[in-house]
């Protein structure tokens, strides 16, 4: 029977199986407050975007102040102070090799921009390349270009005819890292791709798969040796999630192009940026209008979103934000340790503030039947946890307490009692 309560079509939702959606009235800190009177802990930062906490006062104040001055302006031929100040602050916090900032409005579009930058660069300098190298199991978004460089599977099977071909390299499984690096070397030598795009240190929607910093560093070295552009998709891994402000810092890697979104505004408003080297910008800088970088969206560099992001970056330039990340790293490590020896789980892992563990079940993967059962179980315990099939992951805002963390892992253990 078709639903009649609401005309809204929700993302990543099979409405024929989904129960009644939960209406949220407000958020504060690590918690959401529902219309039916529940206090729900947001243990995944509302799809990985909320960093300091819901409705963080400094960010809310910045949005309110900006709303009374300028809320929108075309960004072609015009600019505004929030965007200029935000771009300057971004360049202070990111690798020195990144010198130009292009604004968009989501992680997917920041990846689209990165791909178009890479292809446009090679085309405009007269050495066209069309091949993109990608990592197995990766996920980079849901627009056509972003789907093309992500893993083929249930996310994009219906749209296969629209996707362009890419060259995958294997995920660097523990103990088999050099298979990945040798494969990348061969791809660079034989195909000379325009770029390699990777999620540094941890693959998100692909299953919270983690790999060490030295592998990331070697991938960048190989790309540099073969003059292949290195695109770091830090949409999820940025803004403290891996324990440092950006994941690439842990490998001492400076990407040629970098994508940032999700926590860019602290989780308050949609905004994304793609940063690049000066020579990529300069390849599009010409009196020939045919060499223009043809990309935009109506809300490019929206002043309200830029003001929120600027306020967020103010927080990151103060030591207490980084201290909260370090504290959460320690709490997560302490909480996940007992599960290492728990026979009900496999591949218990942590990178920075993110933990993940695979519940041993009859099936695995994103569409594993256990996934919806786990999600419903956690919802009944007033926890927002959204497992990736049988993979349970914890990625809370940085304001959570030790008691909050204990509550999360007690529920995970209880779930295993029921479902393992």
CATH number at residue 382: 3.90.1150.10
Asked if 247 and 340 sit in the same domain, the reply is no
Asked if 72 and 120 sit in the same domain, the reply is yes
Residue 3 forms part of a structural domain: no
Asked if 232 and 284 sit in the same domain, the reply is yes
The pLDDT score that the predictor gives to residue 217 is 98
- The segments of the chain whose pLDDT lies below 70 read 1-4
Exposed, middle or buried: residue 64 (CB in 10 Å: 0-12, 13-18, 19+)? exposed
Asked if 312 and 388 sit in the same domain, the reply is no
Domain with residue 154: its CATH number is 3.40.640.10
Whose tokens are 């990340």? That residue is 325
The pLDDT score that the predictor gives to residue 2 is 59
The pLDDT score that the predictor gives to residue 136 is 97
The pLDDT score that the predictor gives to residue 91 is 98
Number of domains in the chain: 2
Asked if 192 and 325 sit in the same domain, the reply is no
Beta carbons within 8 Å of 246's beta carbon, 6+ residues apart: 94, 200, 232, 234, 237, 238, 239, 258, 260
Q: Give the integer Cα–Cα distance in Å for 315 and 322.
A: 9
The pLDDT score that the predictor gives to residue 202 is 98
Q: What is the domain extent for residue 148?
A: 59-316
Residue 6 forms part of a structural domain: no
Q: Give the integer Cα–Cα distance in Å for 362 and 313.
A: 44
Residue 10 forms part of a structural domain: no
Residue 25 forms part of a structural domain: no
Q: Domain ends where: 316, 351, 373? A: 316
Asked if 76 and 218 sit in the same domain, the reply is yes
The pLDDT score that the predictor gives to residue 4 is 60
Asked if 247 and 373 sit in the same domain, the reply is no
Check: CB of residue 215 under 8 Å from CB of residue 180. Answer: yes
Asked if 408 and 354 sit in the same domain, the reply is yes
The pLDDT score that the predictor gives to residue 365 is 83
Residue 12 forms part of a structural domain: no
pTM for the predicted model, two decimal places: 0.97
The pLDDT score that the predictor gives to residue 364 is 81
Asked if 275 and 368 sit in the same domain, the reply is no
Exposed, middle or buried: residue 370 (CB in 10 Å: 0-12, 13-18, 19+)? buried
The pLDDT score that the predictor gives to residue 38 is 98
Check: CB of residue 167 under 8 Å from CB of residue 134. Answer: yes
Residue 372 forms part of a structural domain: yes
Q: Give the integer Cα–Cα distance in Å for 338 and 210.
A: 19
Residue 20 forms part of a structural domain: no
The pLDDT score that the predictor gives to residue 294 is 96
Q: Give the integer Cα–Cα distance in Å for 244 and 249.
A: 7
The pLDDT score that the predictor gives to residue 205 is 95
Of 43, 122, 48, 90, residue with least CA distance to 401: 43
Asked if 345 and 241 sit in the same domain, the reply is no
Asked if 284 and 396 sit in the same domain, the reply is no
Asked if 280 and 361 sit in the same domain, the reply is no
């Amino acid at each position: 029977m078709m639903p009649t309560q609401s005309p809204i079509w929700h993302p990543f939702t099979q409405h024929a199986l989904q129960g009644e959606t939960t209406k949220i009235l407000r958020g504060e800190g690590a918690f959401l407050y529902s219309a039916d009177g529940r206090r729900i802990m947001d243990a995944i930062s509302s799809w990985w975007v909320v960093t300091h906490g819901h409705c963080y006062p400094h960010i809310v104040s910045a949005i309110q102040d900006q709303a009374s001055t300028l809320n929108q302006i075309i960004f072609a031929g015009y600019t505004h102070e929030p965007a200029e100040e935000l771009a300057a602050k971004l360049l202070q916090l990111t690798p020195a090799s990144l010198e130009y900032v292009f604004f968009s409005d989501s992680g997917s579009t920041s990846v689209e921009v990165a791909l178009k930058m890479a292809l446009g660069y090679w085309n405009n300098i007269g050495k066209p390349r069309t091949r993109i190298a990608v990592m197995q199991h990766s996920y980079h978004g849901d627009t056509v270009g972003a789907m093309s460089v992500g893993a083929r599977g249930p996310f994009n099977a219906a749209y296969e005819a629209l996707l362009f071909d890419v060259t995958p390299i294997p995920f660097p499984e523990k103990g088999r890292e050099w298979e990945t690096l040798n494969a990348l070397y061969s791809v660079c030598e034989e195909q000379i791709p325009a770029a390699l795009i990777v999620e540094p240190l941890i693959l998100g929607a692909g299953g919270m798969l983690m790999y060490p910093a030295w592998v990331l560093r070697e991938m960048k070295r190989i790309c540099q040796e073969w003059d292949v552009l290195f695109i770091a998709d830090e949409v999820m891994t940025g803004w403290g999630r891996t324990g440092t402000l950006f994941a690439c810092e842990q490998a001492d890697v400076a990407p040629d192009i970098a994508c940032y979104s999700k926590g860019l505004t602290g989780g308050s408003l949609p905004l994304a940026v793609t940063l690049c080297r000066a020579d990529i910008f300069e390849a599009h800088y010409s009196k020939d209008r045919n060499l223009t970088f043809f990309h935009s969206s109506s809300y490019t560099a929206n002043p309200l979103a830029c003001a929120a992001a600027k306020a967020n970056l103010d927080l990151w330039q103060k030591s207490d934000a980084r201290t909260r990340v370090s504290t959460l790293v320690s709490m997560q490590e302490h909480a996940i340790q007992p599960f290492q020896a728990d026979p009900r789980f496999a591949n218990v892992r942590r990178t920075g503030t993110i933990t993940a563990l695979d519940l041993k079940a009859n099936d695995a993967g994103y569409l594993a039947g256990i996934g919806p059962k786990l999600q419903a179980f956690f919802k009944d315990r007033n926890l927002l946890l959204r497992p990736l099939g049988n993979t349970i992951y914890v990625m809370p805002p940085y304001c959570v307490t030790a008691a909050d963390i204990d509550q999360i892992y007690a529920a995970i253990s209880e779930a295993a009692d029921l479902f393992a």
